[in-house]
Amino acid sequence: MRIVRVLLPALMVAGCVSPGERAAAPPAASVAPPAAWRTPLTGTAPVTADWWTAFGDPALTALVTRALANNVDIAVAAARVEEARAAEALSRAQLLPQIGGQLPETQGQTLSPLGTPSRAIGAQPGVTASFDLDLFGRLRLASRAARAQLLTTEAARDTVRLATASTAASGYITLRALDQRLAIARATLAARADALRIARRRYETGYSSRLEYRQAQAEYAATEQLVPQAELAIARQENALSLLAGDTPGAIARGQPLDRLRVPAIPVGLPADLLRRRPDIYQAEQALVAADLSLDSQRAAFLPNLLLTGSAGVVLSTALKNPVGIFSLGASILAPLFDGGRLAAQADAATARRDQAAFAYRRTALTAFREVDDALAGAQRTAQQAAALDAQVAATRGAVGNASNRYRAGYSSYIEQLDAQRSLLAAELSLVQASADRLTSYVALYQAMGGGWTGAERR
């Protein structure tokens, strides 16, 4: 099953794209995640808020929810959004008049008509104002670039959220696979203990050689080391998931076993438009918008700029009978005449950054198609592998039963039973890994699709 290869017009065009409107950022970490964990994009369907519930495990849902609420990386990304929002507000403030007040106080001496010196105290309160007319849109372009940069930062935050949810889901699947590997190791160890007991009795009664007894001892020890190995892997996986959820290392609640997790159904003919919901694609798009607007702003810096200034106030002094009103109006035209090539170099640098953003945009789109195809192929091939391994496990269990009966009846040596048991252990562990890989492929597909799909989006 492969995604319909309908290239999005916006995905492959290395040009300027108008920034879309996005909602305000959600609260910072350490709070419950919002219902819509992704900021909605203009012209796209809403992202499924709880795609991880498709696996049918309440413990998995609780883990992902806690990770989205308390993850430290999400909190850092949210703080970056607030910084970008403040920068965007600062750029918008440059478009408004700047008004200030002053209240200077003066002291000095004056001479009366009779030549008698006297001390005078005065004050000159007033208001000053300045306004940049921005004739060629330099400030307006800079403000729009800051807006696009804000949208880029919001998309980067959403990328972190999606990655956190996917990592939590795949980490939980890995944990349940490790649990099943531990259960298999313990069950196999119990079988090895039974075989060791039989080999000891047969050796002590003289029915078998010391070689078979030593082989049984060695096989028991080889299986015994699998138990602490699996327990160590489980402890490390639990600590990793606790860190992801913003907690101190500790146990992780379990829900359904690995073989009881539901496998989501993939609809046929998924449209390529779903990829526009990926936050990394939107991030690359807005980064290109910001770079393009920054280039236009640098080009506008070559043109003259008109600045209006004015002030008004009164002069209050003990040397004057009545206050004196003063005001001033002025305008200044600033134009670059010779700057040693600074503006040209800045424009060249902005052009290079715009080109880099365009190529990064194209690379992100191509990577998205690859990740979707990889996930679809992984879901399909791992399902086939798991089916084959399931048949192998069933056949190997029958072989172990036959070999055990032959060994107890004295028709075969212990090595025949030992080979069958080894084959069964390897097949069971491979089946667990294939089942985990299959479920992880679905998590990767959800992530590659930008958060899943709904029935209304099928073709």
| pLDDT given at position 430 | 94
In angstroms, the CA 312 to CA 148 distance is: 39
| pLDDT given at position 11 | 41
Instruction: Label residue 294 exposed, middle or buried (CB < 10 Å: 0-12, 13-18, 19+).
Output: buried
**Single pTM value for the model:** 0.76
| pLDDT given at position 171 | 95
Q: Which residues 6+ apart lie within 8 Å of 343 measured at CB? A: 298, 301, 302, 336
3-state secondary structure of 225: coil
In angstroms, the CA 148 to CA 284 distance is: 11
**What does the pLDDT look like over 33-79, one tens digit per residue?**
333 445 555 444 444 457 888 899 999 999 999 999 899 998 898 89
List the CATH code of the domain at 9-20+37-107+118-457: 1.20.1600.10
In angstroms, the CA 293 to CA 216 distance is: 74
- The 8-class DSSP code of residue 361 comes to H
Domain ranges across the chain: 9-20+37-107+118-457
Q: With pLDDT > 70 as the criterion, what percentage of the chain qualifies?
A: 67
Two structure tokens written together for 432: 């667990």
| pLDDT given at position 211 | 86
In angstroms, the CA 57 to CA 337 distance is: 69
**What does the pLDDT look like over 89-145, one tens digit per residue?**
888 777 777 776 666 655 555 555 555 555 656 555 656 666 666 666 677 777 778
Question: Closest Cα partner for 431 from 387, 396, 398, 399?
Answer: 387
What's the average pLDDT block by block, 10 residues per block, for the chain (459 residues)? 37 37 35 43 49 90 91 89 85 74 58 55 62 66 80 87 92 96 94 87 82 88 94 96 92 92 78 75 84 70 59 54 58 60 76 84 87 88 93 92 82 82 92 94 88 51
- The 8-class DSSP code of residue 411 comes to S
Q: Are 274 and 376 in contact (CB under 8 A)?
A: no
